[in-house]
Amino acid sequence: MNFDFNNGAVPTNAALFGNTMVTANGGTSDSGVLRLTEAVNNEQGAFIIQPLEGGAEINAFTAFFKARVGGGTATPADGFSFNFANDLPNGPISEEGAGTGLTVAFDIYDNGAGEAPAIDLKYGGNTLVSQKVPITLLDTGDGFADVIIRLEADGTVDVVYKDTIVYYNQPVTGFAPITNGRFGFGGRTGGLNENQFVDDLRIQAFKTTGPLKITQQPVNAVVLVGKQTTFSIQVNDPAGVTYQWFSNSVAIAGATAASFTTPVVTLVNSGTKYKVQASRPGSNDTSTEVTLTVVQIEPPASPKVTFDFNAGAVPVNTAVFGSAMVTANGGVNDSGVLRLTEAVNGQQGAFIISDLDARAPVSGMIFAFKVRVGGGTATPADGFSFSWANDLADGAFGEDGAGGGLTVSFDIYDNGGGEAPAIDVRFAGSDVASKKFPISFLETGDAFVDVIVRLNVGGTVDVVYNGNVVYYNLPIPGFAAIAGGRYGLGARTGGLNENQFVDDIKIATTVSGSSLTVRQQGGNVVISWTAAGATLETSTSLSPAAWTTVTGITGSSYTTTPTGRAAYYRLRQ
């Protein structure tokens, strides 16, 4: 693969993200060039190359390119990175790199911890070794310097920068060949800047040899009722491979690709097992068997409170802080909306809802809303959060949340540590879980998408974003019912920005002490409960469960005649 960028266009099988661009000048001898960043503050971008060798498993490569690092502020910032991984995001990448494969980070700015200037080698998201260098080595001024990165089949790496051998035969602990890997460059500037250009890029990749094997297995899926999901695998060399998917060990007609997308699912499909066999002449391999779990997570049918903001005013028993405001337009179908931030730098705002249960201990709740995350800078920032706590103070807060209770953080900007974009769950100030996503997953453009945060009685959390189950039955260590809890939404922008709007909030709560009782009355069974606004659901089995709403109920009891079959009941609020 050879890219000289001389035609000023993005090469075939490659893509640009963020501020990165290809121009017909500015390269060696003023030829075409890849501009990861220019000498402008607060830029971030990436150049991603689609898999080489047809996506076959790669165990060695040599990459050569010319780099310009110069022409910016007297103290340059922040750096660039070279990456090879099968999970690179379709989005900007910083000097810290991205993905769980191999990264060589050229960090030109010290953030105060003495970590830079340096050339770091990373694998699996962890720094293996860091070599401090003078900024004069990394800075090339108006010229270009040769850079060579070589991965050997024995899992060692060589790095040469400006004729200086930075690493030689450096072991990459735990290295394994990478299937469907993509090569990518990323660069970033902040409050200081630097031109960070790449030219004359050449990569030679070597694929492994040997019998056919599945290198990436399918994974279990949790899917909402009415949605679809895709199972997929990767093999060490896809050339000449055929595939057959199975459902509960029965071949699925027409399912003969490396991936399989289910039809729209119902609760009846929950528990279905899937696997695939990959074959080529003289060799085959069968995947692990995975399970489809279908769940019903919906906004509350009988919410305790709703806010549609259509009056264009801050609702009773709520308050806004900082940049947050309520307007009569800009929401769903241009209705009223809560604007936590607009696409303006340096904003921070919050919307706080007073306790809904007169300080009664709440052991379960559903907080559903619609959100818009879009319309800001090419690289959006910084994110929003939901918080529920009895120490949620008046005032603005950002994507990291506030208070000592439950927080779900929707972080859309990576500050250089590889922590975002992500959806994180925290409780009592401690991290519970974090899941990384491409920025395209979190951004909604001009549209609004559904978000549901459901705390189940028993201390587990479900999170749904835009129809995708992000967390299901996630245990919250140390959870106890919260009395006097307030609900809050907060958001922030910084040197980059994004519209972060909220509409159609619905909240339901379960107060501790709510119970479900069953008693016999003559030939009937009477089921009664104490939770106001709760929905009674039934299932004929728990493995798999297929919960359906019991209809025709008025009040908080239900009478039924036994049929001789087992039946299970639960409350959903």
C-alpha neighbours within 13 Å on the C-beta side of residue 92 = 29
DSSP structure string for 329-357: SSSGGG--EEEEE-S-TT-EEEEEE--SS
Q: Does the residue 458 lie in any domain? A: yes
Nearest partner of 178 among 280, 276, 274, 103, judged by Cα:
103
Q: Does the residue 300 lie in any domain? A: no
Mark whether 409 and 279 lie in a shared domain: no
E-strand stretches of 209-282: 214-216, 221-224, 230-232, 234-235, 242-247, 250-251, 259-261, 273-280
Task: Specify whether the CB–CB gap between 58 and 203 falls below 8 A.
Answer: no
Interatomic CA distance for residues 307 and 533, integer angstroms: 18
Angle subtended at Cα 242 by Cα 182 and Cα 285, rounded to the nearest 5 degrees: 85
Find the CATH number of the domain harbouring 489.
2.60.120.200
Burial (CB < 10 A; 0-12, 13-18, 19+), residue 472, is middle
> Which residues in the chain show pLDDT less than 70?
513-515, 530-533, 573
Q: Is the dihedral of CA 507, 513, 516, 522 positive or negative?
A: negative
Q: Does the residue 254 lie in any domain? A: yes
Task: Specify whether the CB–CB gap between 437 and 420 falls below 8 A.
Answer: no
Q: Does the residue 299 lie in any domain? A: no
Amino acid at 295: V
The H or E element that residue 149 is part of is strand 145-151
The CA distances from residue 75 to 35, 113, 131, 136, 437, in Å, are 19, 16, 20, 11, 32
Mark whether 502 and 551 lie in a shared domain: no
Q: Give how many domains the chain has, as a whole number.
A: 4
pLDDT at 187: 97
Pairing of strands 557-560, 524-529: antiparallel
Interatomic CA distance for residues 36 and 195, integer angstroms: 8
Mark whether 322 and 445 lie in a shared domain: yes
List residues bridging with 130 in a β-sheet: 120
Rg (CA), the chain: 27
Mark whether 454 and 413 lie in a shared domain: yes
Amino acid at 303: P
Task: Specify whether the CB–CB gap between 121 and 159 falls below 8 A.
Answer: yes
Beta-carbon count within 10 A of 124 CB? 16
Question: How many secondary structure helices (H) and strands (E) does the chain include?
Answer: 2, 47
pTM for the full model? 0.74
Mark whether 159 and 274 lie in a shared domain: no
Mark whether 387 and 533 lie in a shared domain: no
Interatomic CA distance for residues 11 and 18, integer angstroms: 17
| The domain boundary residue, chosen from 207, 232, 247 | 207
Q: For residue 553, what are the domain limits?
A: 516-572
The H or E element that residue 138 is part of is helix 135-138
Nearest partner of 92 among 418, 498, 468, 493, judged by Cα:
418
Nearest partner of 381 among 165, 72, 94, 35, judged by Cα:
94
Interatomic CA distance for residues 425 and 401, integer angstroms: 10
Nearest partner of 528 among 555, 491, 563, 499, judged by Cα:
555
pLDDT at 535: 82
Mark whether 261 and 141 lie in a shared domain: no
For the record, the structure tokens of 211 come out as: 């019998």
Angle subtended at Cα 549 by Cα 543 and Cα 555, rounded to the nearest 5 degrees: 130
DSSP structure string for 250-264: EEPTT--SSEEEPPS
pLDDT at 526: 86
Q: Does the residue 323 lie in any domain? A: yes
Q: Does the residue 278 lie in any domain? A: yes
pLDDT at 533: 66
Mark whether 473 and 546 lie in a shared domain: no
Mark whether 127 and 192 lie in a shared domain: yes
Interatomic CA distance for residues 27 and 23, integer angstroms: 9
Q: What is the DSSP letter of 316?
A: T
For 80-109, b/e burial (b = at least 16 CB within 10 A) is: bbbbbbbbbbebbbbbbbbbbbbbbbbbbb
| The domain boundary residue, chosen from 268, 294, 320 | 294
Mark whether 434 and 567 lie in a shared domain: no
Q: Does the residue 561 lie in any domain? A: yes
Task: Specify whether the CB–CB gap between 98 and 191 falls below 8 A.
Answer: no
The residues, ordered by sequence, that sit 6+ positions from 449 with a Cβ below 8 Å of its Cβ are 370, 371, 372, 465, 466, 467
Greatest alpha-carbon pair distance for the chain in Å reads: 95
The CA distances from residue 94 to 81, 373, 534, in Å, are 7, 21, 48
pLDDT at 504: 98
Task: Specify whether the CB–CB gap between 131 and 117 falls below 8 A.
Answer: no
Mark whether 22 and 67 lie in a shared domain: yes
Express the helix, strand and coil content of the chain in percent, nearest 5 each.
Answer: 5, 50, 50
| The domain boundary residue, chosen from 157, 184, 207 | 207
Q: Is the dihedral of CA 166, 168, 171, 172 positive or negative?
A: positive
Beta-carbon count within 10 A of 336 CB? 20
- What is the rounded average pLDDT for all residues in the chain? 94
Interatomic CA distance for residues 372 and 63, integer angstroms: 40
pLDDT at 522: 81
Q: Does the residue 11 lie in any domain? A: yes
Mark whether 126 and 104 lie in a shared domain: yes
